[in-house]
Amino acid sequence: MNDLLEQFLVETRELVQSATEDLLALEASPGDADIVNRVFRAFHTLKGSVGLFDYPPWLALLHAAEDGLSAARAGTLAVDATLVDLALETLDATARWADAVETSDALPGAAATEADALAGRYRSLLSRRPETPASDAAPLPEWASRLAGSLIDLGEKPMTAVRYRPHGDCFFAGDDPLGLVRKVPGLLAVSVEPGAPWPLDEEFDAYICNLDITLLTDASRAEVDTAFRLVRDQVTTVDMPAVDARTVLGGANLANAPAFGSVVVAILAEQVRVLATAGDADTDAGRLEACAQAAANALRSAGRAGDAERCALALENGAGGLREAIKAILASPSTAASATNAGEVPEVSEPAGVDAARTLRVDAGRVDALVSLIGELIVSRNALGHLAMRAEAGEDAATLARAIREADANIGRLSTTLHRSAVSFRLMPLSQVFRRFARPVREAARGLGKEVILDIAGEDTEADRGIVENLFEPLLHVVRNAVDHGLEDAGTRRRGGKPGAGRIRIEGGQDSDGIVVSVSDDGRGIDPAFIRRRAVERGLRSPEAAAALDDAAVIDLIFAPGFSTAESVGALSGRGVGMDAVRVAAERMGGRVSVESRVGLGTTVRLHLPRTIALARVMVVGAGGETYGIAMDAIVEVVRRPRTGIHAVGGGNAMVLRGRTVPVVRLGALVGQKRLPIVDLDALLLVVRAGAEAVALEVDRFEDRIEAVLRPPSGLVGTVPGVAGTTLLGDGRVLLVLDPASMLGAEPTAARPPREER
């Protein structure tokens, strides 16, 4: 994929998102002119961007949408739900087509049919606008009337007048004003004048465009718009009454104009007029050279290299000689070469690549900080070289050892900071995902006939890009459940003393080293008694088991696969996969889900997620002949206990730790090793958390404590339960880092809850 197409796709998605938000805001405030203007500008920019590429159905649809929004901006088309819905459907199509272009470099096969259908709906809306009486029609602008006056009657035909005022910095933007004019088909008249009085000689800047170009063509409005699609904001177009099609420019003999090219003729005729204008000695030389160069360039573009050379030679004869030479060229018979000026300059585009490159926008301040850290790291690396020289010189080993440890500590500090700085590049605000929920909430509420207000808070909270990109789907399940199951209809709410419109709040915030994303509603809440009955009806729990559960455990049943509180399957819910998918997605991202609910007051679902892919402190331990890692965050404490203090209890082992019975489990047994003879009199124990309880994990030895970047388990390792990730040791060995909580959760002995020691 080339850079231009890649940037186009990024900007298209941003424009679709911002336009969607503005359309939803416009639905709530139809009379807000600022929002209407923002929506129009977004569609106008989308149309201009699509025009850079060869996607005619896409361009035609966005052109129709722009016409509809232009009418809304002018006040001739009502801003109502019909227009908003149609504009949203257009944005949906734009988003889908952008995805298709990214993956296959082409629009879907049905894009043309869909574009025609949507464009037809825009035309239908516009056809229902109140007609403007002919008496109220605005008169032609002065420039258009003047251009029409330069024609003589040779037969009636509809025409279009165009005024093109290029921006002063258009050359720096890569625009070629006259090149664009040449691409307009059916040119009948062209006028090129200064857009403002020319400045004094000492203030003249040749790099500032100061042109006011007007032209008349018998091409359709659509063809004109296509030619000027990249500079639409610089162009004014007017439909002209039927007039003649032959241009008269400066009284020159233009009998050969059709074969010679109207634009080139206009340029040459303009040079004739400039050369006839009286000047002064200080400016004559520059003006003469400029006219000769302009005429020669125009002739070369038309394939008339010989006539271009003729102008250059005529320059030696002064203004009069050059003027006569140009007149003679205008009056001369056309040649075959002159016909080449009627064609369009072919556009060359680079073939799009098969694979789309991933891009990441990074704040410049973070890049500067990273460069500074790299500089410090290089200094520390140079210090190691100095230590090597001291060692070669035979310096005292003890002194060198202290210096090496200091250098190692400094490099460790820098590498940790460097890692955090690099990881921060992936941080994205939660607003990237929160902003996408206004549309689903609106559609879900309308489909259920409910009134819903959406509040968003904490959208500036940042998280890793992988977290943010994978957050939308689980949050969507939660939000849909809140709209469908959580919120009551307006009548029920009013009877219960609540406002008719329900309220859903999506909020993000920090939580230690992670983030918490919550979805709250002020609806009916979760009734534990109802959940018990439904769990029994669905066969998820026996009546006895359901009755034995406390309210927190009952509410947790909403995450069970296949569980649903819906009476029937609907468009939003009822299949029993929503909340189960939420828990699975949260665990896949290294997080967890919690629910808090009060009957009649509402429910809050919280996703506790890691913020970044950070360095983990790992304790390296041994079990038998193997080495494993356990994250320090999972370890509550390290205990050395005489084996006489470990007792056989109920088929397992346990010890008393500060008045509580704690199960003891051998790490070797968890990883499937054969039991070896016990040699040491003391047991080395890691007290870890298994759910809400503590379990002592017995290991054979402590080897090291390291900081490591954990790679998620993949391949065969990814199928093994209890593996949190892998990392490399200093000697190149791969270290498996275990997740004690998941391993102990499946172990019957370890799962036994600790009891109070009496």
Residue 339 domain flag: no
Whether 136 has a pLDDT exceeding 80, the answer reads: no
The mean pLDDT of the chain is 77
Q: Mark whether 55 and 154 lie in a shared domain.
A: no
**Closest-CA residue to 42 (of 28, 23, 61):** 23
Tens digit of each residue's pLDDT (9 = 90 or more) over 162-192: 889 888 888 877 778 888 888 888 887 788 8
Type of residue at 109: G
Residue 235 domain flag: yes
Q: What is the DSSP letter of 200?
A: P
What's the CA gap between 652 and 656, in Å, rounded? 14
Q: Please report the pLDDT score of residue 738 as a whole number.
A: 85
Q: Mark whether 458 and 563 lie in a shared domain.
A: yes
Last residue of a domain, one of 224, 248, 272: 248
Q: Mark whether 516 and 634 lie in a shared domain.
A: no
Coil/strand/helix, residue 602: strand
Which two three-digit tokens encode residue 751?
């799962």
Tens digit of each residue's pLDDT (9 = 90 or more) over 294-329: 888 778 766 677 788 888 788 777 777 888 888 888
90-104, 477-491, 705-719: segment of lowest average pLDDT? 705-719
Which two three-digit tokens encode residue 352?
């799009």
Q: Mark whether 678 and 725 lie in a shared domain.
A: yes
- List the CATH number of the domain containing 33: 1.20.120.160
Whether 10 has a pLDDT exceeding 90, the answer reads: no
Q: Mark whether 204 and 87 lie in a shared domain.
A: no
Residue 641 domain flag: yes
Q: Mark whether 239 and 175 lie in a shared domain.
A: yes
Q: Mark whether 453 and 600 lie in a shared domain.
A: yes
What's the CA gap between 228 and 282, in Å, rounded? 38
C-alpha Rg value of the chain to the nearest Å: 38
Q: Which residues have CB under 8 Å from 308's CB, separation 6+?
A: 295, 296, 297, 299, 300
Mean pLDDT calculated for residue range 340-361:
38
What is the residue-wise DSSP string for 36-100? HHHHHHHHHHHHHHHTTSS-HHHHHHHHHHHHHHHHHHHTSS--SHHHHHHHHHHHHHHHHHHHH
Q: Which residues have CB under 8 Å from 512's CB, separation 6+?
A: none
Provide the CB-side half-sphere exposure for 399 (13 A, CA).
8
Q: Mark whether 467 and 504 lie in a shared domain.
A: yes
Last residue of a domain, one of 592, 610, 628: 610
- Of the segments 201-210, 287-296, 525-534, 683-692, which one has the largest average pLDDT value? 525-534
At CB < 8 A and 24+ separation, what contacts does 353-359 make? Answer: 353/1, 353/2, 355/1, 356/1, 356/6, 356/9, 356/102, 356/103, 357/1, 357/6, 359/6, 359/10
Whether 498 has a pLDDT exceeding 70, the answer reads: yes
**Tokens 């790992």 -> residue:** 618
Look up the domain containing 531 and give its range: 428-610
What's the CA gap between 123 and 60, in Å, rounded? 12
- List the CATH number of the domain containing 169: 3.30.70
Residue 358 domain flag: no
Distances (CA, A) of 352 to 8, 45, 715: 12, 22, 32
339-348, 470-479, 520-529: segment of lowest average pLDDT? 339-348
Q: Please report the pLDDT score of residue 209 as a whole number.
A: 87
Q: Mark whether 61 and 153 lie in a shared domain.
A: no
- List the CATH number of the domain containing 670: 2.40.50.180
Distances (CA, A) of 54 to 107, 349, 437: 10, 10, 32
Last residue of a domain, one of 560, 580, 610: 610
pLDDT tier for residue 521 given thresholds of 50, 70 and 90: very high
For residues 70 and 424, the model is more confident at 70
Residue 257 domain flag: no
Please tell me the total count of domains within the chain. Answer: 5
The proportion of the chain whose per-residue pLDDT surpasses 70, expressed as a percent, equals: 79
Q: Mark whether 176 and 63 lie in a shared domain.
A: no
Q: Please report the pLDDT score of residue 749 as a whole number.
A: 36
Burial of 668 (0-12, 13-18, 19+ CB in 10 A): buried
Q: Mark whether 421 and 436 lie in a shared domain.
A: no
Whether 334 has a pLDDT exceeding 60, the answer reads: no
Residue 344 domain flag: no
Q: Please report the pLDDT score of residue 517 as a whole number.
A: 92
For residues 754 and 123, the model is more confident at 123
Q: Please report the pLDDT score of residue 604 as a whole number.
A: 92
364-368, 445-449, 605-609: segment of lowest average pLDDT? 364-368
Residue 757 domain flag: no
The pTM for the full model equals 0.49
216-220, 518-522, 568-572: segment of lowest average pLDDT? 568-572
pLDDT tier for residue 504 given thresholds of 50, 70 and 90: very high
Residue 323 domain flag: no
Coil/strand/helix, residue 505: strand
Whether 205 has a pLDDT exceeding 80, the answer reads: no
Q: Please report the pLDDT score of residue 256 as a whole number.
A: 40
Helix or strand holding residue 26 (H, E): helix 3-28
- List the CATH number of the domain containing 544: 3.30.565.10
Do 439 and 480 meet the contact criterion of CB atoms below 8 Å apart?
Answer: no
Q: Mark whether 590 and 635 lie in a shared domain.
A: no
